[in-house]
Each structure stands twice: as C-alpha cells, then as structure tokens.
Amino acid sequence: MNNVLTSPIRRLSQKIAAGEIRPSELAKAALKATSVVKPLNAFITVTSELAKQQAQESDERQKKNALLGELDGVPIAVKDNFCTKDQPTTCASRMLADFVPGYDATVYKKLKDAGAVLIGKTNLDQFAMGAGTVDSYYGPSKNLWGSELMKNYFLDDYFHDQEMQYDDEALSKTENWHIAGGSSGGSAIAVSTGTCFAALGSDSGGSTRNPASYCGIVGLKPTYGLVSRHGLIPLVNSMDVPGILTRTVDDAITVLNAIAGPDESDSTSIKDPYIPFALPSPVDVSGLRIGLPKEYRCSALSEEVDSNWSEVSQLLQEAGARVFPVSMPHTEYSIVCYSVLNQCEVASNMARYDGLEYGYRADENSSTEELYAQSRSKGFNDVVRSRILAGNYFLLTENYEDYFVRAMKVRSLIAEDFEKVWHDGIDVILTPTTLSDAPRYHDFISADNQSQCSVQDFCTQPANMAGVPAVSIPIKLSKKGMPLSLQLMAPKLCEERLLGVAKWIEDVVKFPRLVIKPECLKD
C-alpha cells in the first residue's frame, strides 16, 4: 500500500478501475498516514468519518463499473480557507474557530462531484497572511524534510530503498526543524508525506508555490479567473487564486481539468469554456524561447539556487530550446506595491468579522463599540490586526492618492513588463521560486511577518500582479538535503505550454520522491 500512496493519480485510477484496490482501503491507508505525520501539524481537521463515507460511496460505484473519472476514490486535502459544507473552516484563526459553512467552495464541490475523498482541512498562516505557516492559531507546521519523521520514509529512485542515516538527537531539537513555507504549508506537507494525492492551496503572492518549493512538490497557480474563487475566504480579491499541490505535473493537470472553468457564482471567473488537456509523452521543448529575467537574480539569492537555475537553463538549451536574458525592470517594486494593496484589501475584507453575525464574540456588554473592539482584538492575531490598521491608514482620504492609487499604477507597470516579454516572443519565463532551501524555524521567526513575506515572495509575487499562470517544480536536493525548486511563468491561459515545459524538466531532473515505509501503515 505504501507504493500506492505515492503512485501518480492516473496509475492509481487504473488500479481502482481494474478492482486491484478499493477506495476504502486507500482512504484507510491515507488516514493512517495522517496519524504517522501528526507531529508535523499539517491538518487542522482530519475528516475521518467523511472520508470513510465518501470512500464507501466510491466502493459502490467501483462495484457497478460506474466510476466518475480519474479522481474517483482519490484522497485529497483542502486548505482550511475554502468553505466545506458541514465541516469546520477556520482560516487557522480564533475568529472562525467555530465556523461551519452551509455550502461548499466551487473548487471543492467539483472535486467532490468527481468522486474525490476529503481526508482533511490543512493548516495555514492565519487568514493566509504569511509565508511560513507559523502564524496559525493551531500552532506552526513543520516540514517533513530534515525532520525526525524522515526516519519513516525512504527516497524512491534515489537511494534505491537504502536506509537513510540521521542524527536523532539533532533532529529531535525544536530549533532544528525547517518551515514548510506558507501560507499553504499544511497542504504542501499533506502531499509530500503521502497522506493525499493532491491538495488545494490558495495563492495571492506565492502561497502555493512557496511551500511547494520548500516541500519538494509541484505547486501550480493558474491564470487569475481560470478557477473559481467562490467559497475561498478572501484575502486579496484582485489576486487570490485557488492553487494546486501535487507530487507530479500530470497530477496537477488532472486536478486542474477537474476544477477549472466558468462559475456564475464568481464574477471574476473567465467566461470562456475550459478545454481539458493532456500532455504528450515525451514533451518536446525544441524551438521554445525561454526568458531569464536578470532582475530575479537578486542579492539574497543563494548560490545553490542560482547554480540550479543555470543548470536547468543549460539543459533546456541542450534540448533545443532558445534561452534569452530578458529585463523586467519593475520586479523590485512588486513586494512594496503588494504590501500596500494587500493591506488595503485586508482592511476591507476583515471588516465583516464583527462578532455579531458570525465569528468570535467577546464576553463584553458595556457597549457595541467595545464589543467590536474586544472581539476583533482577541479574534485576530497581531499580523492580521497590523494589516487591518495599515490598510485603513492607506485608505484615508488624505493618503489614498499617495498609497493606493500609486500602488495600482505600479501594478500596471509590473504587468506591462510581462506583456513586453511576451510581445518580444518569449514563450515561458524561468526563475527561482524561493531564494534558498527551507529556512530553519528559529531563523525564520527572528524577522517579523512582513519582512519575511518580502523576502520569501520576491520571485513569486509578480505573477499575481500580472495574473499570469506560474508553477514551481522541484529540481534537486541542497547540500543540507532539502528541496530546491524553480518557477516557470507563461502568458495568461497558456497552462498547457507552461506545464509542458514543467513536465519536460520533471522528466529530466528526476527529483526523488518520499515514500512512507510499509511498517508505518500497519494497524
């Protein structure tokens, strides 16, 4: 069963269709895996009973040869800022600790209608405001890579099932564990540990790609509007995109094909019908024009990531692609611009949490104003409160032109950088995803949330400004044994081209996959 838990979705689907494995057996193994990796704090809620029920329904369809498609019976996870009917949706906050929606987010409904089995709701930075999944009301999440729990895994096709050696004493020390990235860190951990085959994240500035990079998996941010935001509790409405985390590029395509398309419930969704696609095997990259933006080679970029970038560029050239240096001069302003726009939209979006209709309500009866103040003070953490205050400051009449309007103008310039590159004939842009491998927890929290986001999202944020699709692909292990990844970006609605190049890179670099040891799944 351990090898099945890390199978590509298509191969798994074939086994289910052939009757070689029952969805209920698969769900049982996935739920067992969640208990093995519980110390990593990937899940806020493990939906055990729902998973068993959905898997049983899939069993019945299997018996009748009436499976709903490739995702029928496949365990998935959902970031806990997507609404799930009759299941808690907390946004990792005290404010929504008791919130149980009466409806499903469109993306989850589509997965459920395709027969997918929900294993659980995953941890995140509170209200998706962070880059490490360390600011959750339910505690920080930990990266499997470099942790003591790596003893329960081997690296498939890398060490050929050989036992890996660890310094137990060093790994057991809290200060030595690495962050999983954020804000979709719980979803990335869930996929990398084999508790599910795919997970939903959200991506406003890199929150899917960042943890995918640190956890050694694929993280896809589709074109803005290609996937419905209905039921995704908003952070930055103009940039939020449901993201996809999987172990392979083909798995990401399978999920994208299931969830993409117009939605009448989301006015920002693209109205044109979505046409599912599959990639040829092998993928041909000859003749493609690959851009390398010089501005992404920033001072904080580690030597290992820079070398990784150069090596993959060389591999593409050797395969017949044409690699060009390009300039995207407004890249350095993206983070500052995002900080202003993010906080303005946060101030607006968080206004609904007043402790009256729903959300945490303080035990305060002296006045309505004091009830609001106490409920919001106790319901939100310092990060959320600081962004609300900053956003309200930026939106003051006397500040509006200097902050919000100017930030919108800078956003337009960033988007124009991308349009110029596409106009000049570049098909795909190749950059780092993160500037290094995953930082250690104690190093990460030594800086404040906003400063960390400024560093962590340097390479990922511009894609959100421009609304273009982007994907993070794991490449190799660093000298410390931690994943290193690269990012691809393409013009809007060019997911097939984007993921074709990603698939080619994936096939060439053969990044090692973590496989849970069989004995860990025994009762």
pLDDT over threshold 90, residue 365:
no
Please say if 478 is a catalytic residue: no
CA atoms within 13 A on the CB side of 257: 19
Q: Per-residue confidence at 71, pLDDT binned at 50, 70, 90?
A: very high
Q: Per-residue confidence at 176, pLDDT binned at 50, 70, 90?
A: confident
**Total number of domains in the chain:** 1
Task: Give percent of the chain with pLDDT exceeding 90.
Answer: 86
The Cα–Cα gap between 293 and 316 comes to: 16
- Within a domain: 144: yes
The Cα–Cα gap between 216 and 153 comes to: 14
- Within a domain: 428: no
- Going by their DSSP bridges, the two strands 218-221 and 470-477 should be labelled as antiparallel
Mean pLDDT of 85-91: 98
pTM: 0.96
Mean pLDDT of 127-154: 94
Q: Are 145 and 216 in contact (CB under 8 A)?
A: yes
Among 184, 187, 202, 207, the active-site one is 207
- Within a domain: 32: yes
pLDDT over threshold 50, residue 165:
no
- Within a domain: 290: no
Show the 3-state SS of 160-225: CCCCCCCCHHHHHCHHHCECCCCCCHHHHHHHHCCCCCEEEEEECCCCCHHHHHHHCCEEEECCCC
Among 79, 112, 492, 503, the active-site one is 79
pLDDT over threshold 50, residue 348:
yes
- Within a domain: 251: yes
Tens digit of each residue's pLDDT (9 = 90 or more) over 242-294: 999 999 999 999 999 999 999 999 999 999 999 999 999 999 999 999 999 99
Q: Which domain holds residue 174?
A: 9-285+433-521
* CA triple 294-413-450, angle to 5 deg: 75
Tens digit of each residue's pLDDT (9 = 90 or more) over 236-256: 999 999 999 999 999 999 999
Per-residue confidence (pLDDT) for residue 157, from 0 to 100: 56
Q: Are 293 and 429 in contact (CB under 8 A)?
A: yes
Q: How far is CA 406 from CA 90, 106, 222, 454, 457, in A?
A: 34, 34, 27, 19, 21
Structure tokens at 15: 């086994």
pLDDT over threshold 50, residue 158:
no
Per-residue confidence (pLDDT) for residue 369, from 0 to 100: 87
264 vs 164, which has greater pLDDT? 264
- Within a domain: 22: yes
Among 13, 183, 187, 339, the active-site one is 183
Q: Which segment of 3-12, 386-395, 502-511 scores lowest on mean pLDDT?
A: 3-12
Show the 3-state SS of 4-36: HHHCCHHHHHHHHHCCCCCHHHHHHHHHHHHHH
- Within a domain: 211: yes
- Within a domain: 152: yes
* Residues paired with residue 289 on neighbouring β-strands, in sequence order: 322
Q: Which segment of 161-175, 186-200, 462-476 scores lowest on mean pLDDT?
A: 161-175
What is the residue-averaged pLDDT of the chain? 93
Mean pLDDT of 306-313: 98
CATH number at residue 154: 3.90.1300.10
Please say if 207 is a catalytic residue: yes
Per-residue confidence (pLDDT) for residue 175, from 0 to 100: 53
